[in-house]
Amino acid sequence: MKNITSIRHGGPRHWVGDGFPVQTIFGYTDAGAELSPFLLLDYAGPAVFAPTAQKRGVGPHPHRGFETVTLVYDGEVAHRDSAGGGGTIGPGDVQWMTAASGIVHEEFHSRAFAETGGPFEMIQLWVNLPAKDKSAPPAYQTITRATIPAVELPGGAGLVRVVAGRFQDQQGPARTFTPIDLWDVRLGAGAKAELRIPSARTAALFVVGGRVRVGTGAVLEAADLAVLERDGDLVSVEALAEAKLILLGGEPIDEPIVGEGPFVMNTRAEIDEAFADYRAGRLGRLPAQA
Ligand code: MN
């Protein structure tokens, strides 16, 4: 069984642009090695937005060296990037953006959601790339709710939506550079589940909502993350209240992590180069608004 090695709590909220009230659950500076290949987890909301005619979110900004993965629970997020990628995702959908060699993108509430307003909740995960793939061309995957297999747990305990990796006989649709498990898990109050992440992989359980006991140990509340041992393969969870969870698993990338802001590379020189390339316009620019 994978026991808990540490628990992280959501910190104070800060605004990312004017659209995302975010708690950073972990970041690469303090947790990049421990949670490799995962670099960062931001949890935005839950919040209720009033209707507006304005564009709320974050304007054009770069990334290089990793992937950003956005899961929406409530609301709608629209994305456009310099590689021609773009799309709008809503509840249950996922954007998997590969920045790799470099991209410029913007992230906003969709126009339709901004106009109606309402509840908003999403997470964004940053997934590192091995050094050999940091120079890959950028890419973009829209993973809609309908393409994500949902596996019913025995006894009506709940549901596992497999975004990436394999759960039981279902393979998630996300294409990844290294082995990644990303599962959206829903448990009913009182339900118990046993989930398997292969031994030697990084594993962590994030509580989006509800309250759970992990193994025989600690009780986690909303916005808590349990970092689990790499040894063992069994993650045992009991929902003390109806729960929305994210289970992360991944093969660690055993390489130096040097990052600053939106760039995560292996050396300081590569970070300096990323800033120089961005300033010189070499990460591209957004197409004119349609
Ligand atoms: Mn971004």
Ligand 1 mean position, distance from CA 17 (Å): 10
Give the per-residue pLDDT at 1: 84
13-25 pLDDT tens trace: 999 999 999 999 9
32, 104, 141, 180, 281 from 199: Cα distances, Å: 19, 36, 28, 13, 43
Ligand 1 mean position, distance from CA 107 (Å): 7
187-203 pLDDT tens trace: 999 999 999 999 999 99
**Strand spans (E) along 27-93:** 38-49, 57-63, 66-74, 77-81, 86-89
Ligand 1 mean position, distance from CA 262 (Å): 7
Q: Measure the CA–CA gap between 22 and 199, rounded to whole angstroms.
A: 32
* Secondary structure (3-state) at 209: strand
User: How much of the chain, in percent, has pLDDT values that exceed 70?
Assistant: 100
The reported pTM is: 0.97
Ligand 1 mean position, distance from CA 238 (Å): 34
Give the per-residue pLDDT at 290: 56
111-144 pLDDT tens trace: 999 999 999 999 999 999 999 999 999 999 999 9
Ligand 1 mean position, distance from CA 62 (Å): 7
Ligand 1 mean position, distance from CA 103 (Å): 9
Question: For tokens 């969709």, what's the residue?
Answer: 110
Ligand 1 mean position, distance from CA 235 (Å): 31
Ligand 1 mean position, distance from CA 104 (Å): 8
Mean pLDDT of 80-90: 94
Mean model confidence pLDDT for the chain: 96
Give the per-residue pLDDT at 11: 83
Helix (H) or strand (E) holding 247: strand 234-250
Ligand 1 mean position, distance from CA 183 (Å): 22
Kindly tell me if the per-residue pLDDT of 289 is higher than 90.
Answer: no
Tell me the pLDDT band of 250, cut-offs 50, 70 and 90: very high
151 contact partners, CB below 8 Å, separation of at least 6: 159, 160, 161, 162, 167, 168, 170
Ligand 1 mean position, distance from CA 216 (Å): 38
Tell me the pLDDT band of 217, cut-offs 50, 70 and 90: confident
Mean pLDDT of 18-46: 95
Ligand 1 mean position, distance from CA 209 (Å): 24
Mean pLDDT of 19-42: 96
Q: Measure the CA–CA gap between 69 and 3, rounded to whole angstroms.
A: 26
Is the CB of residue 184 less than 8 Å from the CB of residue 212?
no
